A = this chain, B = another copy of it.
Amino acid sequence: MTEIRINRERLWRDLMELKEIGGYDDEATGLRGVRRLALTDEDARARRLVVSWMRQAGLKVRVDRIGNVYGERAGEEPGLPCMLMGSHIDTVATGGAFDGTLGVLGGIEVIRTLNEAGVRTRRPIEIGFFTEEEGVRFGTDMLGSAVTAGRLTLEYAHNLTDAGGATVKDELVRIGFDGDAPEIRPVPHAYIECHIEQGPILATAGVDIGIVTGVQSISWQRLTLRGEAAHAGTTPIESRADAGLAAAEVIVEIRRMCDSGEYGQLRGTVGDLRLLPGQTNVIPSEATLTVDLRNPDDTLMTAAEKHLAEHVDALSDRHRVTAAWERMARTAVIPFHEGIQDVIAETADALGLPYVRAMSGAGHDAQEIAAICPAAMVFVAGENGGISHTPREYSSPSACGNGIDVLANAILRLAGEV
Contacts and interface: CB of A to CB of B under 8 A. Distances in A.
Given A28-B226, A244-B273, A387 B231 contact: yes
Contacts of A281: 92, 134-136, 141, 220, 269, 271, 292, 362, 389
Nearest to A220: B280
A388 B267 contact: no
Please give the count of copies of this chain that the complex contains: 2
Contacts of A135: 280-281
A237 B259 contact: yes
A136 to B, nearest CB: 5
Contacts of A28: 226, 228-229, 285-286
Interface residues of A, number: 73
B252 A252 contact: yes
Interface string A43-85: 0000000000000000000000000000000000000000000
Top 9 closest pairs, chain A to chain B, by CB = A234-B361, A248-B251, A199-B234, A232-B269, A198-B234, A233-B362, A248-B248, A280-B290, A231-B389
Contacts of A284: 270-272
Interface string A244-269: 11011101100100110000000101
Contact of A282 (B94, B267, B363): B94
Contact of A92 (B228, B279, B386): B279
A252 B248 contact: yes
Interface in A166-213: 197-200
Contact of A230 (B139, B286, B360, B389): B389
A277 interface: yes
B277 A92 contact: yes
A275 interface: yes
A280 to B, nearest CB: 4
